[in-house]
Amino acid sequence: MKKHFSRFLVSLMVFIGQIIIAQNSKVITLHFVPLMNHEPLELGKKYAIDSEKLPVTINLFKCYVSHIVFYNDKDLVYDATNEAFLLDCSEKNSLTRTITLPGDINYTELRFYFGLDDQTNDKGISGGDLDPTKGMYWTWQTGYINMKMEGTSLSSGAADHNFQFHLGGFLAPYASFQPLTITTENKSELAIAIELADFIKKIKLAETHTLMSPCQQSVLLSKYAASMFHLL
């Protein structure tokens, strides 16, 4: 009888503790919204980018965001740098992510990396979104792929009119992760656009259509890729 009562007390204390934690925390929901020319991105659909380019079809889009921190008037108020999210357009659930903050936290800026930094890569392969079976890992020497964008366009100079951009690299001088800052109000939900057209407009597909390893051009294109992110 005493043993059952003790178990009941332990369960009750755990339950009460969970209620207290829930009351003293808040959940921030991040909705990442891939777009093509302001339209929701549909894989396999043709999009007219502008009058100078032939239509573009995106068949695959994945990228990492990581090292997430919250600031209030330039002061760091919460550090979630252990978070690394793989956003995959073929997996809609991957585009909505949550972070639990203490209830008394207010913030005016969300900062994060496009891609994965050198510390994450130095740790080697991991699980969850960092599992190599996700198809976003090269080797221990070159690390994780920060972004994969693949598609087709008659603008592409490739023989089959395909294009493939696998951007990554974490060692100098080809470290390609990019810091980003989103200025916002203290909201429980944020919608963050990823406008792929902004990336493609900066590239001449006739000349640049395939990039599959770390290099100086990968660093430049990673800067273009970071410019895709903005608050909706």
Residues 70, 107 contacting (CB under 8 angstroms): yes
Q: What is the mean pLDDT of the chain?
A: 89
Could you report the per-residue pLDDT of 177-229, keeping only the tens digit for each? 999 999 998 889 999 999 999 999 999 999 999 999 999 999 999 999 999 99
Angstrom distances, CA of residue 15 to CA of 19, 189, 204: 6, 27, 58
Q: Is the pTM of this model over 0.95?
A: no
Q: How confident is the model at residue 74 (pLDDT cuts 50, 70, 90)?
A: confident
Compute the distance between CA of residue 116 and CA of residue 88 in angstroms, rounded to an integer: 15
Q: How confident is the model at residue 50 (pLDDT cuts 50, 70, 90)?
A: confident
Check residues 126 and 113 and name the one with the higher pLDDT: 113
pLDDT at residue 8 in the model? 52
> What is the amino acid identity at position 102?
P
* pLDDT mean over 136-161: 93
What 3 state SS string does the chain have? CHHHHHHHHHHHHHHHHHHHHHHCEEEEEEEEEEEECCEECCCCCEECCCCCCCCEEEEEEEEEEEEEEEEECCEEEEEEEEEEEEEECCCHHHHEEEEEEECCCCCCEEEEEECCCHHHHHCCCCCHHHCHHHCCECCCCCCEEEEEEEEEECCCCCCCCEEEEEEECCCCCCCCCEEEEEECCCCCEEEEEEEHHHHHHCCCCCCCCEECCCCHHHHHHHHHHHCCEEEC
pLDDT at residue 140 in the model? 76
pLDDT at residue 3 in the model? 56
**In the predicted structure, residue 12 carries a pLDDT above the cut 50:** no
- What is the domain partition of the chain in residue ranges? 26-231
Compute the distance between CA of residue 118 and CA of residue 156 in angstroms, rounded to an integer: 32
> What is the amino acid identity at position 105?
I
Could you report the per-residue pLDDT of 98-125, keeping only the tens digit for each? 999 999 999 999 999 999 999 999 888 8
pLDDT at residue 189 in the model? 94
**In the predicted structure, residue 22 carries a pLDDT above the cut 90:** no
